[in-house]
Structure 1
Amino acid sequence: MSAAGRARRGAREVFFGWWIVLGGIGIQILTSGLMNQAYGAYVVTLQAQFGWSKTAFSIAYALQQVESGLLGPVQGWMLDRFGPRLVMRIGIMLLGGGFMLFSQINSLPMFYVAFLIMAVGMSMAGFVSLTTTLINWFERKRGTALGIMQTGGAVGGLLVPVVAWSLTTYGWRATAFGSGVAVITLGLPLVQLMRHRPEDYGLLPDGVKPAHLGEWPPPGGESIISTSAIDRIDFTVREAVRTGAFWFLSIGHGLALFIVGA
């Protein structure tokens, strides 16, 4: 059965958007548990082996924050142009490959290169891509969907003791390489659940039933259902940057991230 067929069948059973939420939880668990929250465990191990200072590791974290800010606009364009699956596939491969490269490092510059690749991969496969996708699939239930999806980041913390145990038992190189394998083998199937917009599959946000309930395709042979029944205000990039709300939200969110990151 085609992807569109599976999505339409899901509309008659469980709204397909909730499967996307489930996939997002899994991806958040992987990215948060194996990289973000496990970073401290790697720092202790690498300090013991290479003698690098805490400042050196702080630089790597700072590079991740800079990368996230610079990648954001490009990633947003890619998501609009190519959809989440392609962007997130690339992200998963970069994150997994970055872990594998990380397992082979022998110098600080090589560590920075591997960490930057991992950071780019995590950005492309992580929060921004997932949030953008869910915003397309939910309107009235958007807050609920986003809140449920973000629980994956918290649940990912349960992987940290596993990573710490593996570091002690098998060493950091084997643990990093195994993390890369896990990211790719588990992440790629989860990415397959991602879909760009519900309208592409004859669905409406939140699983709202179309006027031609029970008929497929609807009279007239339309393959995409209009969302005129749902109020929506869209802006182009040029229109958005001319609004005060855009800058208030951007500056406020940026300051919040600055404080949290510090």
Structure 2
Amino acid sequence: MPEMLRLVKTLKINTRNIRVLLSGFLILFIVSGVCYYGFGVFFKHIQEEFGWGRGVISTAFLTFCLVFAFFSPIIGKLIDRYGARNVILIGSFLLGSGLILLSITTNLQQFYMAYGIVGLGGSGCGLVSVSSLISEWFSKRRGTALGLVTSGMGIGGLFMPIIIGNFLIPCFGWRTAYQILGLLTIAIITLILMKALPSRGRPRSGNPQYTNAPPTKSIKEEVLKSALRKSTFWLIVCAYILFEIAETGTVQHLVIRLIDVGFPEAMATFVFSFIGLFNVIGRFLFGYISDRLAIKFCAIISFSSGLVATTLLMAIIAPSNLLLIYLFILAMGLTVGSWAPITSMLISTYFEAARYGTVFGAFSLFFFVSSGVGPALFGYIYDAVHNYNPAYILSLTFYSIAIILISSLPRQNQS
């Protein structure tokens, strides 16, 4: 928190800018807390009611990620045409509607369709829209502003699983919990847009980001083709595909895995939540060290943290393993929080600044699809052998291969 306050002071912001920062923070708090961190908390209750396998249930998260990834570039174009505020507003209604539909689902097809709508809504009021909003308001210290706002994703991971798993579901049941989350999502984000967010941003003509004409479609296509021809791009992509499969598979199945080995549901949810806290710390930590160490070395540290976390999780076989639990929360939280600053730095380091948006967009498509593949893969492995250890061994292998791939990157600025 002192670090965050220090960063706020560097922005030299006024009241209107504070309202923009707070609005973006709260929107990402809700979207990340409900969509990403909330999924694993509902897992046990959905399986108990329908009797579906864990792979089948996890495929819903894959559906969410596929829709999210596919529509993110389209959302960017809609923002350019209609403005971030309008896109966020429509996205919140779709997200809330998808959550309400989940509460009345009676079969697998409806379950997948509802999660697809959640993915569409999440892409509309998620990071793409919020980061665009921040870029419109902050022409200086934009990176610091984005760092503060995106910390809402980790803080959402800290509080929302506790709210959902230890209050909403025990008190009202999982179906009513989805309804409450859907209605609150629509109401709170609408209230933020109407009351907290200032009605007018800075004119784009006065923002240095928009002083130059955007690249034409032909230039963007040439930039993308050039990146796809480079081995550097594919080394980064393949390393992070493996990383994300291992990381999201572990995270989304964490609560139910801990329950399997004897954890009370409330305790399992608290463990899951505190990963969100160290997620925030990881974002600041890896953002800090990536300015001071070779970026591929930072990625190696991140992947190694995942190796350690997975090894610790395999050793946790009872709630009494407190030291292992604390160490796991630390290692896994830092791993989850590392990817955003490191991937951004990797792309900006190995590709020209003018190519950053196009190259990072292509990378993100692979990354977000991998986010959905991980939980589904873990679920189907568990359904086959009724044990997560084979999935964890696969994760250890993936982290190790990712370390080798990243180590093969050329020296910085020599790609």
- Give your verdict on TM over 0.5: yes
Counterparts of 1:22 and 1:241 in 2: how far apart (Å)? 36
Give the one of 166, 169, 172 matched to 2:171.
169
Does residue 63 of structure 2 align to residue 83 of structure 1? no
Alignment partner, residue 412 of structure 2: none
Structure-2-length-normalised TM-score? 0.50
Give the one of 189, 205, 219 matched to 1:187.
189
Counterparts of 1:148 and 1:53 in 2: how far apart (Å)? 39
**1:128 Cα deviation from its structure 2 partner:** 0.8
Counterparts of 1:78 and 1:136 in 2: how far apart (Å)? 15
Q: Structure 1 residues 145 and 181, CA, compared in 2 at 3 Å: closer, same or farther?
A: same
Alignment partner, residue 241 of structure 1: 221
Q: Which runs of 5+ in 1 are unaligned?
A: 1-12, 201-225
Query: Deviation digits for residues 205-235 of structure 1, max 9, x if unmatched?
Result: xxxxxxxxxxxxxxxxxxxxx5388894442
Alignment partner, residue 14 of structure 1: 14
CA contact (8 A) 1:136 1:196 kept: no
CA contact (8 A) 2:69 2:369 kept: no
**1:196 Cα deviation from its structure 2 partner:** 7.1
Structure-1-length-normalised TM-score? 0.77
The AA in structure 1 aligned to 2:162 is P
| Structure 1, 54-63 or 143-152: larger mean CA deviation | 54-63
Alignment partner, residue 34 of structure 2: 34
CA contact (8 A) 2:95 2:117 kept: yes
Q: Structure 1 residues 86 and 141, CA, compared in 2 at 3 Å: closer, same or farther?
A: same
Alignment partner, residue 236 of structure 2: none
Percent identity (aligned)? 25
CA contact (8 A) 2:99 2:114 kept: yes
Q: Structure 1 residues 253 and 180, CA, compared in 2 at 3 Å: closer, same or farther?
A: closer
Alignment partner, residue 227 of structure 1: 206
| Structure 1, 96-105 or 249-258: larger mean CA deviation | 249-258
| Structure 1, 158-167 or 245-254: larger mean CA deviation | 245-254
The AA in structure 2 aligned to 1:159 is M
The alignment covers a number of residue pairs equal to 225
Alignment partner, residue 117 of structure 2: 117
CA contact (8 A) 1:67 1:120 kept: yes
Counterparts of 1:142 and 1:177 in 2: how far apart (Å)? 36
| Structure 1, 146-155 or 130-139: larger mean CA deviation | 130-139
**1:199 Cα deviation from its structure 2 partner:** 0.9
Highest relative contact order (Cα 8 Å, sep 6+), 1 or 2? 1
Q: Structure 1 residues 249 and 182, CA, compared in 2 at 3 Å: closer, same or farther?
A: closer
Q: Which has the higher helix share?
A: 2
Does residue 118 of structure 2 align to residue 138 of structure 1? no
Alignment partner, residue 154 of structure 1: 154
How large is the RMSD of aligned CA atoms in angstroms?
2.5
| Structure 1, 186-195 or 127-136: larger mean CA deviation | 186-195
State the secondary structure of the residue aligned to 2:203.
helix
CA contact (8 A) 1:133 1:194 kept: no
Counterparts of 1:229 and 1:249 in 2: how far apart (Å)? 21
**1:194 Cα deviation from its structure 2 partner:** 6.3
| Structure 1, 129-138 or 190-199: larger mean CA deviation | 190-199
Alignment partner, residue 198 of structure 1: 202
